Amino acid sequence: MNLFGFMADQNDETSSTSESPESASPADASTEKATQGSDTDLEVEDPEKAFAGIMGAELYLEACRLMKVVPVSHFVQNLAKPYMNLNHRGLGPKGVKAIATALVSNATITHLELEDNSILAEGAIYIAEMLRENSSLQELNISNNHLDTAGAEAIASLLLDNVSYLHVLRLSGNNFGEETAPYFAKALMDNSRVKELDLSYNEFSEKGGQLLGQMLDSNTTLEILDLSWNHLRGKGTVALGTGLRGNYALKILNLSWNGVGNEGALALGEALKVNNMLVHLDISNNQINNEGAKKLCRSLEVNGKLKILKMANNPLTVEGATALVTSVRKNPKSMMEEINVSNVLVNEAFIKLLDLVCQTHPELDVIYGEVEGCIAKIPKQHPNPMKMIQNYLKEHKLRLWDFFRNIDKDGNMKIPVAAFRRAMMQQSNIPLNRAQIVELACKLDRNQTGVVDYSHLKEEKLAQKPVEGEIEEEKKEEP
Give me the amino acid identity at 130.
Answer: M
Q: What is residue 459's predicted lDDT score, i.e. its pLDDT?
A: 46
Q: Which of 437-441's residues contact partners 24+ apart within 8 Å by CB, and which partners? A: 437/385, 438/365, 439/385, 440/385, 440/386, 440/389, 441/365, 441/417
Q: How far apart are the first and last CA of the chain?
A: 76
CB atoms near residue 421 (< 10 Å): 24
- Cα angle value 424/301/416 (rounded, 5°): 30
Q: What is the pLDDT of residue 394?
A: 79
pLDDT at position 14: 44
Per-residue model confidence (pLDDT) at position 465? 45
Per-residue confidence (pLDDT) for residue 63, from 0 to 100: 95
pLDDT of residue 316: 97
- pLDDT for 51 equals 63
* CA–CA gap between residue 326 and residue 310 (Å, rounded): 16
What are residue 282's DSSP bridge partners? 254, 310
State how far the Cα of 377 lies from the Cα of 370, in Å rounded to an integer.
12
Predicted local distance difference test score (pLDDT) of residue 437:
80
Q: Whole-angstrom Cα distance, residue 145 to residue 307?
A: 34
The secondary structure element, H or E, covering residue 242 is helix 233-245
Instruction: Tell me what pLDDT residue 438 has.
Output: 80
Give the β-pairing of 451-453 and 414-416. antiparallel
Cβ pair 90, 34 in contact under 8 A: no
Do the Cβ atoms of 233 and 260 come closer than 8 Å?
yes
Please give the pLDDT value at position 31.
36
Q: Tell me the backbone φ, ψ of residue 196, rounded to 5 degrees.
A: -135, 125
Q: What does each C-alpha distance from 416 to 104, 313, 337, 452 come to in angstroms?
A: 40, 26, 11, 6
Nearest to 441 by CA among 377, 375, 358: 358
Per-residue CA distances from 288 to 34, 169, 321 (Å): 68, 30, 12
The confidence score (pLDDT) of residue 247 equals 96
pLDDT for 113: 98
d(CA 185, CA 181): 6
> How far is CA 151 from each of CA 54, 93, 176, 361, rounded to the nearest angstrom?
29, 12, 9, 48
Query: What pLDDT tens digit does each residue of the chain (479 aa) get?
Result: 444 454 555 454 444 433 333 333 333 433 333 333 333 333 334 445 556 668 899 999 999 999 999 999 999 999 999 999 999 999 999 999 999 999 999 999 999 999 999 999 999 999 999 999 999 999 999 999 999 999 999 999 999 999 999 999 999 999 999 999 999 999 999 899 999 999 999 999 999 999 999 999 999 999 999 999 999 999 999 999 999 999 999 999 999 999 999 999 999 999 999 999 999 999 999 999 999 999 999 999 999 999 999 999 999 999 999 999 999 999 999 999 999 999 999 999 999 999 999 999 999 999 999 998 765 444 556 678 778 777 877 777 777 777 777 887 777 778 888 888 878 777 777 777 787 788 787 888 888 888 888 776 644 444 444 444 444 444 444 44
Task: State residue 446's pLDDT score.
Answer: 81
Domains of the chain: 81-368 (3.80.10.10), 385-477 (1.10.238.10)
Q: Which pTM was predicted?
A: 0.81
Rg (CA), the chain: 28
φ/ψ of 113, rounded to 5, equals: -105, 120
Cα(399)–Cα(408) distance, integer angstroms: 15
Q: What angle do CA 232, 234, 235 make, to 5 degrees?
A: 80
The pLDDT of residue 41 is 34
